[in-house]
């Protein structure tokens, strides 16, 4: 029984993955997902984020829903969604949907006029 517990604990520790969350100048975040032999500091510098605030966190803290990815910001050791940016994203989606519906209606009208 003791051996089984040690194996389960080892697997959970090995599956944890650390990522680096970097605060950008625009208020958003960039995330570095490591690859084998990743040097976070070197990668951060190569990406142009040298000197920017960052926090190394467990990958499980990164939201899985990326719909509002451009509204993410990092506060108090977690990623939150900026409400203003979220509204802007929703408005852009609504505008696009409305535009697509108008175009579809115009195409139907043109088709009906061509049939006459």
Provide the pLDDT for residue 16.
Answer: 60
Provide the pLDDT for residue 116.
Answer: 67
In the DSSP assignment, the letter for residue 28 is -
Which pLDDT tens digit goes with each residue over 53-111?
A: 999 999 998 988 899 999 999 888 889 999 999 999 999 888 888 888 888 898 888 88
- Per-residue pLDDT averaged across 31-49, rounded? 90
Each domain of the chain, given as residue ranges in start order, spans 17-81, 82-116
Provide the pLDDT for residue 73.
Answer: 92
| Residue closest to 30 by CA, chosen among 38, 22, 18 | 22
Provide the pLDDT for residue 50.
Answer: 93
């Amino acid at each position: 029984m003791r051996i089984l517990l040690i194996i389960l604990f080892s697997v959970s520790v090995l599956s944890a993955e650390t990522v680096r969350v970097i605060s950008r100048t625009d208020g958003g975040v960039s995330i570095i997902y490591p690859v084998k032999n990743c040097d976070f500091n070197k990668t951060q510098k190569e990406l142009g984020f040298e000197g920017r605030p960052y926090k190394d966190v467990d990958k499980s803290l990164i939201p899985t829903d990326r719909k509002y990815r451009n509204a993410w910001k990092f506060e108090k050791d977690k990623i939150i969604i900026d409400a203003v940016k979220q509204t802007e994203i929703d408005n852009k989606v609504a505008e696009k949907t409305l535009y697509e519906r108008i175009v579809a209606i115009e195409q139907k009208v043109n088709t009906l006029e061509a049939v006459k």
